Amino acid sequence: MTSPTPPQCECGNSTSFDRKKSFLGFTKLICPSCKKQYDDPSSPLTKGYRITYWIIGVWIGLSLLNQIPILITAAQKGLDVFFAVLMEQWLLILFFLGAILALKKDAQIRKSTKPKLVFEPCNKEPKQKGTMNIGKARKMIITAGVFGLISAFTTLAVTIYVAQTGEDFQSISTWALLDVLLLVCCTFGIFMKSRTAAVIMLVYFFLSKIVQWIVFPQTSYIVFGIIFLIVYFEGVRGCFHWHHLKKQESNKSTHSITASGGSE
């Protein structure tokens, strides 16, 4: 759907638009007069949504690649068997297509809103790369929290799947639920900028992945494990830097109040 240029609407009565997030994470413009919704052509996905869609796409893509030999064998037995096996993966295919479409739409919006490069002489000193600030630390924390939610949701989904298949569920249900509870608690702590929760999440995930790699030495597990470990490590850095920078701001404000009081 082609969006009109705000603040004009087809009803002709709107001078401003309300905003809300769609199911896929895109920004919707809502006319307060006629309640008609438009896609916002200037708001791509946030970094958290974009990373999540990339993880879902790559993860499910690798999972579907592992199913190719099974699909080939099923196709040799007949189309009815092939489609029966394919329909067993309908949920993964649906999530995979949704992630691909969302990333495609996001790329189109980012391309249309990308400013043109204008080369002008600049006498300003270049900014130092790698300089940490409150905003960057907060983004690192939020990204680690989103990955924590993905870990907890994935573990819970696997637990429910094992419960439905009835494969020795009683022996692992307690540990699996405790695993989900620990992940949820650590994720909540990360969102609250707790350094302890961030460190526990990093160490626990590292140890659990070592055990998982020993039992299931698959390439996809190793790749995703490394990605999650990097994000959790950045979350630890973000929490420590956030508290350090907040302490610096507090000390500066204290000194300024003291100086102003002394001058009076």
> Has residue 217 got a pLDDT over 60?
yes
Residue 39: strand pairing partners: 28
| pLDDT, greater one: 225 or 138 | 138
pLDDT value of residue 9: 67
Query: What pTM did the predictor assign?
Result: 0.52
What's the rounded mean pLDDT across residues 12-33? 73
pLDDT value of residue 240: 92
| pLDDT, greater one: 88 or 137 | 137
Question: Is 9 in contact with 18 (CB distance < 8 Å)?
Answer: no
Confidence of residue 72 (pLDDT cuts 50, 70, 90): confident
- What 3-state class would DSSP assign to 106? helix
Burial zone of 45 (CB within 10 Å; 0-12 exposed, 13-18 middle, 19+ buried)? buried
CA dist 15 → 5, 24, 84 (Å): 11, 26, 53
Find the range with the poorest average confidence among 11-25, 127-141, 248-262.
248-262
Q: What is the pLDDT of residues 24-53, one digit of tens each?
A: 777 777 777 777 777 777 778 877 778 888
Q: What percent of the chain has pLDDT over 70?
A: 75
pLDDT value of residue 197: 93
Confidence of residue 203 (pLDDT cuts 50, 70, 90): very high
- Give residues with Cβ within 8 angstroms of 93, minimum separation 6: 64, 86
Question: Is 238 in contact with 140 (CB distance < 8 Å)?
Answer: yes
> Has residue 181 got a pLDDT over 80?
yes
- Give residues with Cβ within 8 angstroms of 36, minimum separation 6: 9, 10, 11, 30
| pLDDT, greater one: 117 or 220 | 220
Residue 38: strand pairing partners: 29
